[in-house]
Amino acid sequence: MAVRAAVLPAIGAPLEITGIDLPEPGPGQVRVRLAAAGVCHSDLSLSNGTMRVPVPAVLGHEGAGTVVAVGEGVTHVSPGTDVVLNWAPACGSCHACKLGEVWLCANALNGAADVYAHRSSDGAELHPGLNVAAFAEETVVSASCVLPAPSGVPLADAALLGCAVLTGYGAVHHSAQVRPGETVAVFGAGGVGLAALQSARIAGASTIVAVDVSPEKEELARRAGATDFLVATENTAREIRALSGKQGVDVAIECVGRAVTIRTAWESTRRGGRTTVVGIGGKDQQVTFNALEIFHWGRALSGCVYGNSDPARDLPVLADHVRAGRLDLGAMVTERIALDGIPAAFENMLAGKGGRALVVF
């Protein structure tokens, strides 16, 4: 059966909106009709080669939809089940999984190298970008890549739970472990940054400073929970210290992935402060510290993969926050687009515009 999809023909090439032929689900597989897919900065990083992906590929890893068919052996979902896609399913048997650190699973992305569909025009083999290929009307994925969607959450908005919200929430609650009354700075007010701002508010942070290059994002950031907003400059760390008793914030969450931003986030924290890096940068982004300042400031700097989250554990918690009105998924979406709007959404991300673009099918 042919469906429309956004295909990345080669690294650095523009996306092609074209027909693809999907097979029926095999043993252990599920076919899903997408309701919506979020356009994440990681998709942009995959398209330009910052992160590697086999090509040609159908990108998109943040999605939700409805199961239309299941293969042999699939029992936890059935046709008609609404699901959230999980682009990084844990294998349960590698070293990280045995330690309980499922977000670091060594085998989570094995499926991205598979051939899962063919381009209708020429039969070219296609790979599922980050396992789930959500930039398509329908997809076929491993059953381990779908989780039943939480009740009481609009299905299109639930797509955001699959990456942006799990990542932003996890960065605050699992990695940085923000405590009530602490002060927080969030660098980058895109989809993940907006989720981190809402999560800092949920955690009970007293001061929440949002930092972005675009002054147009102030209203978005404040609606998400920011008490203060700064346009990024070379004086950002000094300005954040001025907003936090001249000491610096307790926690900085970096959602950009640039060396200068990581360094500024670290400098904006107090002695003994904590910086969590969520943004994915290229290998050329070198961050430098000297040995004396590491000793003197006693600050912690940590990476954060997928929010250090376990989707099976965290989705019900996030759903409770949504149903209670503490977490507003719709407020993160600044535009709802069709498949052919994805290239423009990529350009907006490069220009630092908007929050989350959501492809609605």
pLDDT in tens, 32-75: 999 999 999 889 889 988 888 899 999 999 999 999 999 999 99
DSSP character at residue 343: H
Question: Can you give the pLDDT at residue 243?
Answer: 94
Domain parsing of the chain, residue ranges = 2-149+329-360, 167-305
Question: Can you give the pLDDT at residue 13?
Answer: 93
Instruction: Tell the residue number behind the tokens 């523009």, with chain if given.
Output: 14
pLDDT in tens, 144-177: 999 999 999 999 999 999 999 999 999 999 999 9
pLDDT in tens, 214-225: 999 999 999 999
User: Is the per-residue pLDDT at 352 higher than 90?
Assistant: no
Query: Averaged over 192-207, what is the pLDDT?
Result: 98
Q: At the topology level of CATH, where does 2-149+329-360 sit?
A: Quinone Oxidoreductase; Chain A, domain 1 (3.90.180)
Classify 79 as helix, strand or coil. coil
pLDDT in tens, 79-113: 999 999 999 999 999 999 999 999 999 999 999 99
CA 215 to chain centre: 23
User: Is the per-residue pLDDT at 10 higher than 90?
Assistant: yes
CA angle, 79 then 85 then 88, to 5°: 135
Question: Can you give the pLDDT at residue 326?
Answer: 97
Long-range contacts of 280-288 (CB under 8 A, 24+ apart): 280/41, 280/42, 280/45, 280/50, 280/51, 281/50, 281/256, 281/257, 282/50, 285/257, 285/258, 285/259, 286/259, 287/259, 287/262, 287/263, 288/263
User: How is residue 310 written in tokens?
Assistant: 């376990």
Question: Can you give the pLDDT at residue 21?
Answer: 97
Instruction: Say what percent of the chain tops pLDDT 70.
Output: 100
pLDDT band per the 50, 70, 90 thresholds, residue 351: confident
What is the C-alpha separation between 61 and 159, in angstroms, rounded?
Answer: 9
User: Is the per-residue pLDDT at 1 higher than 80?
Assistant: no
Please tell me the class of the 167-305 domain. alpha beta
